[in-house]
Chains A and B, each alone.
Chain A
Amino acid sequence: MFDQGIIDMLKTGLFESLYMILASTCVGYLLGLPMGIVLTITDKDGIKPNGVIYKILDVFANIVRSVPFLILVVLLIPFTRLLLGKSYGPTATIVPLVIAATPFIGRMVESSLKEVDHGVIEAAQSMGASTWTIIRKVLLVEARTPLIVGATIAIGTILGYSAMAGAVGGGGLGDIAIRYGYYRYQTDIMIVTVVILVVLAQLFQGLGMFLSKRLDKRSTK
């Protein structure tokens, strides 16, 4: 149906997309996980309440999350150029992706960690556990199921964002879908890219749900 050139292009697009999604998810968690932890423990019912730190992160998360992603990409062009020397292509897209994903992931982590029963945290405190021990051995372990579910949702959202970045030269499958499907009216190519994106989303979702169920010891099944 397609010639070799188009197939190669789709392959490259797929790898670029995977690269953007996985790299931004990783960096996003590197920043978002600590952010979520800090949001959890500095909240007024947390184990180290601190109104100022909580408020700063809270406001930051709300501001970033209320800017539409495409606008964020455009706004960040000077910053991206400063950081990487160019503002287009998959690597450059990772910058706005990370900035958009971090507060999203932070919130996701916060809500997961807040699901942990306060009594269990209190029990750990009564045993003389330090804040750090409680984070590592109680919060992150007891909340692992919602954390994995959250990660699945985060990857899905980042996948969507990465495709959107195609509109402004971001590379990957989204880029191909826009260029061929929208500008050149090659609907068949567009449909193929969309199918690949859907399959990708399904794969991530399935894997996440499988892991979260497998690792959950709270149900008797």
Chain B
Amino acid sequence: MEPIIQIKNVSKTFESKSGQVKALQNISIDIEKGDIFGMIGMSGAGKSTLVRCINFLERPTDGTVIIDGKDLGNISNKELRKTRMEIAMIFQHFNLLMQRTVIDNVCFPLEIAGVKKKEAKDRARELLKIVGLENKENAYPVQLSGGQKQRVAIARAIANNPKILLCDEATSALDPETTNSILNLLKDINKRFGITIVVITHEMKVIQEICNKVAILNNGKLAETGYVKDIFTEPKTDEAKRLVYQGTSMTALMNGQRFIRIVFGEQSSFEPVIGNMILSFNTPINIMGADTRNIGGKAMGEMILQLPEDEVIAEKMITYLRNRKLVVEEVDLNV
């Protein structure tokens, strides 16, 4: 089946007084129907611009964006507005209408779509139930917490039964607990309604939690893209490594010695690999850190080891671990 979102060779250049800013350079990404697709990068990497190219809030300078078979660059303004009703969006700062009640906020996209008032109210109540805010319909946004505001924004976004939901740093202004509840809600919406979700974030945690695929952006270029599981186990580019190692902050312990990172999948936890390795080489190694992360619902273990100074033994150890089907890679914690 054809991907629901096709980004083909998209570039975006902004003209500013100090010259041209190349926000995006030749980016191509396919997103399949039903994906929860993450786009991650440091601030200024171009992710917000890229997500706005998907609904043409930003027009790409070059390249094409095809949504469900429709080339957005080749349709009239009226048709573009109609297409946008199928591409909902939520934001970091929620962007609710402050002078409208919760239920009227949810009714807003329905008004735009020309739904009758009574029908719109009924639908809005149904949506508020989905996001768990049925008792807040007459509150004003200012009376809600951040998490509640984002729930209203989500209800509003899915009101017109969109095919796609774009999330622009939707959890970046929320505390960790609220972040989790919003991510669960998004996952639920993806499952229940089959809405394809694109998540923009600078936090690897968010990607790990809900995305099945990810694109890593760096300085307006696509560094790496693929399944989250694969990128987590074997990040290829420096940018990907930097993001995967986020949280393993042992940089301070660097003293010229070599470090490796090993990743355990589900099958490798039966044998006490590290213990056996130390016994068979008769050389101790230093465990610098270990962590278990939830990648798309599966537990993945990672461990950072400091290799012995003896180069020969160090190489043998790497081979030993590789033979046991573990992913082993040298880590430069200074990346």
Contact residues of A with B, CB < 8 Å? Answer: 117, 119-120, 122-130, 133, 137-138, 141-142, 144, 215-220
| Contacting pair B112 A119 (CB below 8 A) | no
Query: Does the CB pair B112–A219 fall under 8 Å?
Result: no
Q: Which residues of the other chain, B, contact A219 by a CB distance below 8 angstroms? A: 142
B87: Cβ under 8 A from any A Cβ: yes
Question: Whose C-beta in chain B lies nearest to the C-beta of A138?
Answer: B97
| Inter-chain contact B98/A125, CB cutoff 8 Å | no
The answer to whether B140 touches A120 (Cβ under 8 A) is no
B88 interface residue per 8 A CB criterion = yes
State the interface size on chain B (CB cutoff 8 A): 29
**Is A144 a contact partner of B89 (Cβ separation < 8 A)?**
no
Contact surface of B with A, Cβ cutoff 8 Å: 55, 57, 81-85, 87-89, 91, 93, 95-100, 108-109, 111-113, 140, 142-143, 153, 160, 166
Most chain B beta-carbon neighbours within 10 Å: one of A124, A129, A130, A219: A129
Q: Which of B85, B89, B96 contacts A120 (CB 8 A)?
A: B96
The answer to whether A218 and B81 touch (CB under 8 A), given A119-B91, A127-B112, is no
Partner of A220, one of B81, B113, B143: B143
| Dominant secondary structure at the A interface | helix
Shortest C-beta distance, A215 to chain B (Å), equals 8
Asked whether A125 lies within 8 Å of B84 as measured between CB atoms, the reply is yes
Contacts of B142 in A (CB 8 A): 217-220
How far, in Å, is B149 (CB) from chain A's closest CB?
12
> Can you report 16 A-B residue pairs in the complex whose CB atoms are below 8 A from each other?
A119-B93, A119-B95, A123-B95, A126-B84, A126-B87, A126-B88, A126-B89, A127-B85, A127-B108, A128-B81, A128-B82, A142-B97, A144-B99, A217-B142, A218-B140, A218-B142
Give CA–CA (A163, B220) in the complex, Å. Answer: 61
A120 engages B97 (CB within 8 Å): yes
A128-B84 in contact (CB<8A): yes
Known: A123-B89, A125-B84, A129-B81. A142 touches B55 (CB 8 A): no
Q: Which residue of B lies closest to A141 (CB)?
A: B99
Task: Report the bound CA distance from A130 to B82 in whole Å.
Answer: 10
**Are A127 and B109 in touch, CB under 8 angstroms?**
yes
